Amino acid sequence: MINTFSQSPTMYPTQQGSPLSIMKITLWMFTICVLGQIIGTCIFGVYFHKKLDKIEDEMALNEDYLFLRRIQKCLKRGTVDPTLLNCKEVIAKFRSLISEVTQSDQPDESHEKPTDERTNSVPAPRIGEEPNTSKKVVAIHLVGDKDNSNKEALQWQQKSYLTLQNEITYTNGKLRIETPGVYYIYSQVSFCANSTQFQKAPFVQYIYRKQSDGPVKLLIKGASTIISSTANCALQSTQLGAMFTFGKNDLVFVNVTDPARVNYSPEFTYFGMFKLGDTS
């Protein structure tokens, strides 16, 4: 017999969609959507944060502008309602703020105050320059004098040298301190050093101090033992210099072992002192 029933064609697996592949595609699409949403959220967050910063800056500028507008209104008296704006309080706060800013900009004088005593010293004027007496320069420079009537001290004279003895006076070979302080004293004595005039003892120079209520005290001294074999005068020099603290009416003077051998030329023999600062 002939079978007349119609039969549907056989469906092969390749002709139908696999459920597993459909699930994979769905998962991929879902993952891509989630990642896109996350990236979009991050970008929007960054943009929103920058926008907030910009708005805050604008608000700060707006507050400054409003504050300046308030001050401007306060300066225009009679145009502001006192119930809305207290001009006295606004101006007082503004003035206090300005004073704080100016005080913070000024240097602290306590840190700039010199502590070294040498900063009180006054520099010597240059050659040919008039000294500035407003700085209270205290100095004296003397040159040798052949008058040796006073055997206790060498005699000196002034010859067109820088001499500002406002606080130092000279009398009979001695310098008198009128104002206490720290002083630098110096002296140079030139003398003949040949064998015919040389004594057994070396040529010695002394600088003494005599206080008003005390004995004479030796401060410093210098000696020269060089002897020339010639009969002519061979000049030698002894130089002294040191810093000391002197009181009022203290006397300072110079003496040597043999004044007859001294060369009294102004360039060779001189004596002086200058003030470095006050005693604390």
* Domain annotation covers residue 30: yes
User: 144 and 86, same structural domain?
Assistant: no
* Separation CA 210–CA 251 (nearest Å): 5
- Asked whether the beta carbons of 256 and 177 are under 8 A apart, the reply is no
Q: What is the pLDDT of residues 44-103, one digit of tens each?
A: 888 888 888 777 766 655 666 666 777 777 766 555 455 455 677 777 777 777 777 677
Check residues 112 and 21 and name the one with the higher pLDDT.
Answer: 21
In whole angstroms, what is the distance from residue 72 CA to residue 77 CA?
10
Given a contact cutoff of 8 angstroms between Cβ atoms, the answer to whether 140 and 121 are in contact is no
Residue of 199, 200, 216 whose CA lies nearest to 208? 216
**CA–CA gap between residue 261 and residue 266 (Å, rounded):** 15
Q: Between these two residues, 189 and 113, which has the higher pLDDT value?
A: 189
DSSP code per residue over 117-151: GGGG--PPPPTTPPP-GGG---EEEEEE-S----S
Query: What pLDDT is attached to residue 47?
Result: 86
pLDDT value of position 151: 77
**What pLDDT, in 10s, does the model give residues 100-124?**
767 766 655 554 444 444 444 445 5
Q: Which of 2-6, 134-138, 149-153, 231-235 has the lowest mean pLDDT?
A: 2-6
Percent of the chain with pLDDT over 90: 19
182 three-state secondary structure: strand
- Of 76, 103, 130, the last residue of a domain is 103
Tally: H helices and E strands in the chain: 3, 11
pLDDT digits (tens, 9 = 90+) for 227-264: 666 666 778 889 999 999 999 999 999 999 888 888 88
Total domains, the chain: 2
> For residue 261, which of 215, 207, 192 has the smallest C-alpha distance?
192
Mean pLDDT for 25-48 is: 88
72 and 159 in a common domain: no
Q: Are residues 125 and 227 in the same domain?
A: yes
- The pair of three-digit structure tokens given for residue 198, joined into one six-digit string: 């040389």
| Domain contains 108 | no
More confident residue, 150 or 31: 31
For residue 65, the enclosing domain spans: 19-103
47, 77, 103 - which closes a domain:
103
**Whether residue 139 is found in the same domain as residue 263:** yes
The domain spanning residue 227 has which CATH number? 2.60.120.40
Find all residues with CB under 8 Å of 60, minimum gap 6, and list them. Answer: none
Q: What is the pLDDT of residues 122-147, one digit of tens each?
A: 455 554 455 554 567 788 889 988 87
